[in-house]
Amino acid sequence: MARKISMKQAINEALDLEMRRDPTVIVMGEDIVGGAGSPGEEDAWGGVLGVTKGLHAKYPGRLLDTPLSESAYIGAAIGAAACGMRPVAELMFLDFMGVCFDQILNQAAKFKYMFGGKARTPVVIRAMVGAGFRAAAQHSQMLTPVFTHVPGLKVICPSNAYDAKGLLIQAIRDDDPVIFCEHKNLYGLETDVPAEAYAIPFGEANVVREGKDVTIVSYGLTVHRAFEAAEKLARDRIEAEIVDLRTLSPIDWDTVIESVENTGRLVVVDEANPRCSIASDVAAYVAEHAFGALKAAPQMVTAPHTPVPFTPVLEDLYVPTADAIAAAVSRIAPRAMAA
Amino acid sequence: MMTDQRIKPVVMPKWGLSMAEGRITGWLKQPGDRIAVGDEIVEVETDKFAGVVEAGDAGILRRVVGEKDAIYPVKALLGVIADPEVPETDVEAYVAGYVTPAADDDDDEVAGPAYEFLDTAAGRLRYARRGEGGEAVVLVHGFGGDLDNWLFNIDALAAKASVYALDLPGHGQSTKTMPAGGVAALAGTVIAFMDALCIGPAHLVGHSLGGAIAMQVAIEAPGRVKSLTLIGSAGLGTEINAGYLAGFVAAASRRDLKPVVEQLFADPKLVTRQLLEDVLRYKRLDGVEDALRSLSSQFLDDGRQGGVLAPRLEGVEAPVLVVWGEEDRIIPAAHATALDGRARAEVIPGAGHMVQMEKASRVNELILGHIGG
């Protein structure tokens, strides 16, 4: 039965349903319960923004508050996965990956390959990404391209509550390590979500708007900015098609190429920094594989190549805006063309 | 608002339970054209479906008010039909004075919630109930469908009858546990549904697999069935597009699903992005794939329909209406003659398997005529 719930609730519900279904699913992280061991303080936090609140009471002993040591508990989660558990480790902010990157890059991502396909590592690392939360340069980055660069990792970044629930359930059921990126500024956004469990397969982009004039490819928060831009452009009779990638590794090239073949124009919107980003990856792939379909040069709309500023005025300019996306479209799909 | 009986508005329709607005995608008639009742006038698209507004009145299309590509709320004025002798100034005054009635807030309160749930021995069933009094009508959807397949029918039928539409087990938002025993078991579910809601003898309307289920109900419990309407129905012959069933069950992506779902319609343009998304959202639910695989394996026998029910209808006295879309690519329209001499058959041109959606007014008219509404 569908009802509107927030992305934060949807993630909680996905964890709840999978913990109920599969006793090997455990959750680890800093303050994901909070107050454990202190009388009257059970489940005081539910994680830094309350995503796991309430699960401790339902599944006592299966949510593990860890020491403030990412290298220890991310390593422990990967080890537990290699030994048959299905751990979901919360890295809080993806920015913190630096101290546990060996465990992710050299261990989890390599086990299957180095043990001749015999090892499975069904671990999910959940973490918040993205700017706009007034959390400064070390808690606001969109580091998705760092992970898509590494073979052996699956990288997911949902744009809404429905996708977040279905993709997280798929991530937990998946036998490979999954980096699950949650945009903190989407946590409050409500969409229709069925109460039942459902899994969205990886590698399936979602065409969230159809249009014939230009393809806008994006993921996460900027999908909504692209949608705003498309509504503005429609008033100028330019119809934009929006492809929400949803999963960045694997990535759904077929849907991207098919859309560009229909529209002839590509704008890629990425909140990550521009160099070696999802934007540059998509632009390069399309240029290589669908060059003949392109009527104009692919455009990239990204964050600038700077750290995320703490000043609110500058931070608001940092994430690609609807106006910037509309301007990029206008550069390659002028109004006269649409007549 | 002044009512001028000589002037008839063409308004934005309300298709189904959730429609609030629609977008005009094209006019099929121009100002000055002569309009007969049932003529297709203007194409409208909602977030769920693309369809055509048919004329409810005859006359000349005197005004086109709704602009192409613009979005209008339900009941907004899109055009005006009047006889030639009605003066231009009166038409002008009608258009100027037209006030779009407020959204159906009052109606919704009277009609109750759009969807309800019922716990039965077979599990939880979702259903919709529209209309009060008159005859009872039970709508049974087909394989992979749900009660929203009756989007364009339920309100039209509810004007003259108490209409119930349910999601079968394994479908829509009902339990995803499929009872063992195929069509016969699902007929049992329909009977249990009618028992639980104290629905007396009813007119059963079944589409596709739902037609076979309706027939099975009539065979098992003839006293419960006042009439049968079988639309693009299973159970009337052995041929079926087994590739469609397999493709529907297997498709996990929009790209795989689109060509499969397009086979349901004579006009594939009716398959919107949202329609595909709704089907995918249903298919992703835990248990659905197993339920559909189990149902299709019980229903099919080596690529053909396993059970032909037509001969077993002989002992059933209820009148039978058979309706088919001429361009049905799932179950051939030739099956419409399977009950010759026993049933009235109507084959509707320009429609595919989802004839109740593609030619809704004609199908509604046939059903209402058949049940004596």
Confidence of residue B109 (pLDDT cuts 50, 70, 90): very low
3-state secondary structure at position A92: strand
Q: How high is the pLDDT of residue A335? A: 64
Q: Active-site residue numbers of A?
A: 139
For B129-170, write each residue's pLDDT tens digit. Answer: 999 888 999 999 999 999 999 989 998 999 899 999 999 999
Confidence of residue B121 (pLDDT cuts 50, 70, 90): confident
Measured between beta carbons, which residues in chain B are less than 8 angstroms from residue A209?
273
Over range B6-30, report the average pLDDT: 85
Q: pLDDT truncated to tens, each residue of chain A (339 aa)?
A: 678 999 999 999 999 999 999 999 999 999 999 866 666 667 778 888 889 999 999 999 999 999 999 999 999 999 999 999 999 999 999 999 999 999 999 999 999 999 999 999 999 999 999 999 999 999 999 999 999 999 999 999 999 999 999 999 999 999 999 999 999 999 999 999 999 999 999 999 999 999 999 999 999 999 999 999 999 999 989 999 999 999 999 999 999 999 999 999 999 999 999 999 999 999 999 999 999 999 999 999 999 999 999 999 999 999 999 999 999 999 998 765 544
Of residues A196, A210, A254, nearest to B285 (C-beta): A196
For B227-253, write each residue's pLDDT tens digit. Answer: 999 999 999 999 999 999 999 999 999
Q: How high is the pLDDT of residue A102? A: 97
Q: How high is the pLDDT of residue B101? A: 78
Over range B332-336, report the average pLDDT: 96
Asked whether the beta carbons of residue B117 and residue A198 sit closer than 8 angstroms, the reply is no
Q: Which residue of B254, B271, B290 to mutate against A (max A Cβ within 10 Å)?
A: B254
Measured between beta carbons, which residues in chain B are less than 8 angstroms from residue A204?
252-254
The percent of residues above 70 in pLDDT, for chain B, comes to: 95
Asked whether the beta carbons of residue A1 and residue B117 sit closer than 8 angstroms, the reply is yes
Asked whether the beta carbons of residue B173 and residue A201 sit closer than 8 angstroms, the reply is no
For B33-53, write each residue's pLDDT tens digit. Answer: 999 887 889 988 887 777 888
Residue B285 phi/psi, 5-degree rounding, is -60, 140
Over range B96-117, report the average pLDDT: 68
Confidence of residue B106 (pLDDT cuts 50, 70, 90): very low
Give the span between the Cα atoms of A199 and A184, in whole angstroms.
22
* Three-state helix/strand/coil letters over A278-311: HHHHHHHHHHHHCHHHCCCCCEEEECCCCCCCCC
Give the span between the Cα atoms of A55 and B270, in whole angstroms.
44
**What is the DSSP code (8-state) at residue B285?**
B
Over range B94-121, report the average pLDDT: 73
Q: How high is the pLDDT of residue B104? A: 53
Measured between beta carbons, which residues in chain A are less than 8 angstroms from residue B281?
162, 194, 198
Asked whether the beta carbons of residue A194 and residue B126 sit closer than 8 angstroms, the reply is no
Q: What is the token pair recorded at A176? A: 């490979």
Among chain B residues, CA nearest to A192: B281
3-state secondary structure at position B149: helix
Of residues B117, B273, B284, nearest to A200 (C-beta): B284
Among chain A residues, CA nearest to B277: A206
CA distance A36 to chain B (A): 34
Q: Is the peptide bond before A250 cis (omega within 30 degrees of 0)?
A: yes
Helix (H) or strand (E) holding B289: helix B288-299
Measured between beta carbons, which residues in chain B are less than 8 angstroms from residue A168?
none
CA distance B287 to chain A (A): 9
Asked whether the beta carbons of residue B286 and residue A196 sit closer than 8 angstroms, the reply is yes
Confidence of residue B274 (pLDDT cuts 50, 70, 90): confident
Q: Is a pLDDT exceeding 70 seen at residue B105? A: no
Q: Is a pLDDT exceeding 60 seen at residue B355? A: yes
Q: Where are the beta strands (DSSP E) in chain A?
A: 2-6, 25-29, 63-65, 86-93, 124-129, 154-156, 178-183, 190-194, 206-209, 214-218, 240-244, 247-249, 266-270, 299-302
Q: Which residue of A196, A212, A231, A235 to mutate against B (max B Cβ within 10 Å)?
A: A196
Q: Which residue has the higher pLDDT, B21 or A19?
A: A19
Q: Is a pLDDT exceeding 60 seen at residue B16? A: yes
B126 close contact with A: CB closer than 8 A:
yes
Q: How high is the pLDDT of residue B373? A: 52
Single pTM value for the model: 0.86
Sheet of B50-54, strand order: B50-54, B40-45, B21-27, B71-73
Q: Is a pLDDT exceeding 60 seen at residue B2? A: no
Measured between beta carbons, which residues in chain B are less than 8 angstroms from residue A199?
284, 286
Encode A194-221: b = buried (16+ Cβ within 10 Å), e = exposed.
bebbbbbbbbbbbbbbebebbbbbbbbb
Q: How high is the pLDDT of residue B1? A: 45
Beta-bridged to residue B63, according to DSSP, are: B80
Asked whether the beta carbons of residue B254 and residue A166 sit closer than 8 angstroms, the reply is no
Residue A273 phi/psi, 5-degree rounding, is -65, 155
Asked whether the beta carbons of residue B273 and residue A210 sit closer than 8 angstroms, the reply is yes
Size of interface A-B (CB pairs under 8 A): 37
Asked whether the beta carbons of residue A198 and residue B254 sit closer than 8 angstroms, the reply is no
B176 close contact with A: CB closer than 8 A:
yes
